[in-house]
Amino acid sequence: MLEDWSLLKVENFKEDSVREFIIMPLLKKLGFVLKDSTKQKENTKPTLEAQLSLRGRAKLQVGSNKQLETDFMPDYMLFVDSKIHCIFDAKSPSESITKESKNYQQVLLYATHFKSPYFALCNGFELRLFAIARQEVLLEIALKDELDSILSKSNGEKIFQADVTNLREIQSESIDFIIDPPYGAKIPYLDLSTMWNVWFDLPVDRDLKERECIKKGSLEKSSDEYQELMTKSLKEMIECLNIIVILPLSSNIKTQSFFKSL
């Protein structure tokens, strides 16, 4: 990672320097490896891969009757479990990466062509992450002031999807507070989130629904199935919690007998 941030103001610190001294070290720190250099193993963390400079070709409409074909090559394509997740492009420190800039439009084209749900730009001074679905900034980091603090957190903030009956990604006794366990028979989350999951290209298959900790739903799960999954989930949560256990249990269910099953 760049140690002397004053180099960003040096005239010959260009786009290639941002790639070499900022983006690539950042991706390595986050756990990305070059695509095809490792193989995904079962029961391990998600595979994070980066592919450099993959060429693409797109047709651009010029006026009402003319189309132009153009070649392009994004700096990085980021994959999670072999599925494209983000286009990441470097720009010179002197260039703008705001939504109003031509660089934004350029990388939006890349992401649209490769069907990537997210795209990011970095000019050395800042990093901005956007979502294709909303085309608005999701994350904005002033690298000099915030990056070292973010990367230095050994057990800091982390967002991921996991099976609560098998929380292998979380260290034992590392969590201070857990809130909002499943809602029993009140809210069938997966059934209600179908539209949003399709929008974000997130699969919701039968296997996922079978692991959903709920009564009823589209699979008409029984109280016994709910109790079994809740028992496994609570054991995992207690394993992750610190010695001082804080686990508020709020369950909006309709019957007292169902609540007793907890």
Give pLDDT tens digits for 175-216. Answer: 777 766 555 666 777 777 777 776 666 777 788 788 888 877
Q: What are the DSSP E strand ranges found in 8-159?
A: 33-34, 48-52, 56-62, 66-72, 76-80, 83-90, 118-122, 126-131, 137-142
Q: 3-class DSSP state for residue 138?
A: strand
Asked if 165 contacts 236 with a C-beta cutoff of 8 angstroms, the reply is: yes
Return the structure tokens found at 132. Answer: 């294709």
Tell me how far apart the alpha carbons of residues 158 and 178 are, in angstroms, rounded to a whole number. Answer: 14
Asked if 189 contacts 180 with a C-beta cutoff of 8 angstroms, the reply is: no
Which has the higher per-residue pLDDT, 208 or 119? 119
Which has the higher per-residue pLDDT, 246 or 211? 211
Tell me how far apart the alpha carbons of residues 74 and 154 are, in angstroms, rounded to a whole number. Answer: 31
Q: What is the mean pLDDT of residues 105-122?
A: 90
Q: What is the pLDDT of residues 63-90, one digit of tens each?
A: 566 555 666 688 999 998 888 899 999 9
Q: Which of 11-20, 152-161, 174-183: highest mean pLDDT?
A: 11-20
* pLDDT greater than 70 at residue 60: no
Q: How many CB atoms lie within 10 A of CB 70?
A: 10
Tell me how far apart the alpha carbons of residues 174 and 242 are, in angstroms, rounded to a whole number. Answer: 6
Q: What is the mean pLDDT of residues 95-101?
A: 93
